[in-house]
Structure 1
Amino acid sequence: MESVNPDKIREVYDRQAEGYDKARSRTLFEARWLTRFGDALPKGGRVLDLGCGAGEPISAWLIAEGFHLTGVDFSQAMLAIARERWPEGDWRVADMRDLDLPERFDGIIAWNSFFHLTPDAQRSTMARMARLLVPGGLLLVTVGPRAGEVSGTVAGETVYHASLSPAEYATLLETHGLLLTTFVAEDPSCGDLTVMMAKKHEGD
C-alpha cells in the first residue's frame, strides 16, 4: 500500500468539505441497509451517527424517519455544513477514538468512517461504541472485506483505510457484549461496500 498517514484524515476532510459534500451521492443506494437498521429500532429512538460529515444522505434519512439524532464528526468544516442545514440539530465535534458521551443510544451507525481508523484504534473504539449502546441496541458499520490496510480517496486526496478480518470483528464484538448478526462483503446492491451489523445482548 502507498504510505498514507492515518492522522492526516481530519485535515483532508476539513480541506475538502465543500467538494466532498457536493460530490456525495444522494441516491441512497444505502437505503436497504438503512431501512433494515431503522425498522429494528424503537420509533423515535436515539441514534448516534459517528462520522456524520455534512449530514447528507445518512443523517438526513435518519432525521426524516423521526429518529432523535446525534451527529458526531471530527471535521469542523463538515459539521459547519450540517449545522447550516439543520440549525436545531445535535451536532458535536469529537473524535470517535476518544468519544465519551453521557447518553446511551438505541442505534449507532458509522458509515464510511470507522474504516479510517487503524486496526488498533478500531479495537479500542469498538469498546467505546459498545458502551454507548443500550441493551438490545444495534450497530451498523461499513468496514473492509478482509484484514489489511489500503488507501482510498476523498475529493481526489489519498486517505487511509483499514479493516480487521470478519472473524476478528465477530470475536471483538462478542468480547464487548455484541453479537455479529450480518456481515456482507462487497455488497453489489450497496456500491460494493462491506457492511456489518451487530446487536448488543439484552442483559448487558
Structure 2
Amino acid sequence: MTDDQHRPHPAAAFDALGAEYEKAFAGSRTHRHSLEWLLGRLAPGSRVLDVGSGTGRPTAETLAAAGHDVLGVDISPVMADLAARQVPDATFRCADIHDVPLEDASFDAVCVYFSLLQLDRREQAALIGRLTWVLKPGGYLVLATVPLDVEGVDAVFMGQPVRVTSFTAQALATVVEEAGLEVVTEEATLFTPAHPDARPEPHLFLHCRRPAATAPDA
C-alpha cells in the first residue's frame, strides 16, 4: 500500500466534525478582524471566492450579509450541505478546488482560511499561484494558516486523524510574494479551539493584494 493510500482523505475529518468545527472556532476574534479588514476594502456587490468554505460561518455569512456575491467551495459534502442550509444568500459547491473551472481575473477577493493544511507544499504554492490569477488586478486574497515548519506529519485534530503540512510565517510570505501578491498586513495570534480535544495553536493571517499594474509571474 502506498503512502498516499495511507493518507487520510482531506474530507474525512471535516465530514466527521461537521458543525462541531464551527462551534470550536466561533470565538476567533482574529478571523473576525480579518473579515472586517476585507469588508473595508471591497466595493459594493463584489464577487468573492471562499476556498474551504466549511459550514459557511463566519466567512460566507459575513460577506453575503454585506451584499457580496459569494461562491464557497469545500471538498466535504457534510460541510457544503451545512453551508447551503445556513447561508442561503451564498452559493456553495462540494468539490475539490483543483477541479473547479475558474476564469482569470473573475473575483474581487479570495478567502483561504485554514484550507491548505492538508495539501503538500508544492500543491499549496501552486494553488496560491492559481488563485492569484483568479483575482482581478487590485483584488485581495486573505489567507490564514497554522505557521509551523512541518511536512506530511500525521496528527490528530479535534479527535480526527489528519496529515498536516505547513510553512513558517516567513516561508509562507515568500510563497505568496512569488505568486505575485503583496502582503499588505499580517496578524499572528495564539488560539485554542473550543473543543475538549483541541490544543492551543498559532494562527497567522496574511492580507494580500494583487497589484493593479502588474500581472503575477507564470
- Normalised by the length of structure 1, the TM-score is 0.84
**What does 1:35-54 correspond to in 2, within 5 Å?**
35-54=36-55
In the alignment, structure 1 residue 183 sits paired with structure 2 residue 213: no
Structure 1, residues 40-59: CA drift from partner, whole Å, max 9, x if none? 12122111111001112221
Secondary structure, counterpart of 2:212 in structure 1: coil
Q: Could you say which residue in structure 2 is the equivalent of 1:201? A: 211
* Structure 1 position 151, deviation (Å): 5.5
Structure 1 unaligned spans of 5+: none
Tell me, in whole angstroms, the C-alpha distance in 1 between the residues paired with 2:190 and 2:12. 31
| Kept after mapping to 2: 8 A contact 1:24/1:56 | no
Amino acid at match of 1:116: Q
Tell me, in whole angstroms, the C-alpha distance in 2 between the residues paired with 1:165 and 1:139. 19
* Structure 1 position 10, deviation (Å): 1.0
1:160 maps to which of 159, 163, 179: 163
Aligned sequence identity (%): 26
Tell me, in whole angstroms, the C-alpha distance in 2 between the residues paired with 1:161 and 1:119. 10
Tell me, in whole angstroms, the C-alpha distance in 1 between the residues paired with 2:157 and 2:136. 33
**What does 1:20-99 correspond to in 2, within 5 Å?**
20-21=21-22, 23-27=23-27, 29=29, 30-87=31-88, 89-99=90-100
Tell me, in whole angstroms, the C-alpha distance in 1 between the residues paired with 2:156 and 2:21. 10
Tell me, in whole angstroms, the C-alpha distance in 1 between the residues paired with 2:49 and 2:42. 12
Structure 1, residues 152-193: CA drift from partner, whole Å, max 9, x if none? 5444212233222334333332332211223333x1489741
**What does 1:110-129 correspond to in 2, within 5 Å?**
110-129=112-131
Structure 1, residues 46-100: CA drift from partner, whole Å, max 9, x if none? 1111100111222111111221111110111111111122345311122124443
Cα 1:24/1:87, change in 2 over 3 Å: same
Tell me, in whole angstroms, the C-alpha distance in 1 between the residues paired with 2:44 and 2:155. 36
| Kept after mapping to 2: 8 A contact 1:114/1:141 | no
Structure 2 unaligned spans of 5+: 193-200
Tell me, in whole angstroms, the C-alpha distance in 1 between the residues paired with 2:191 and 2:13. 28
* Structure 1 position 133, deviation (Å): 0.5
Q: Could you say which residue in structure 1 is the equivalent of 2:138? A: 136
Cα 1:132/1:192, change in 2 over 3 Å: same
2:176 maps to which of 169, 173, 177: 173
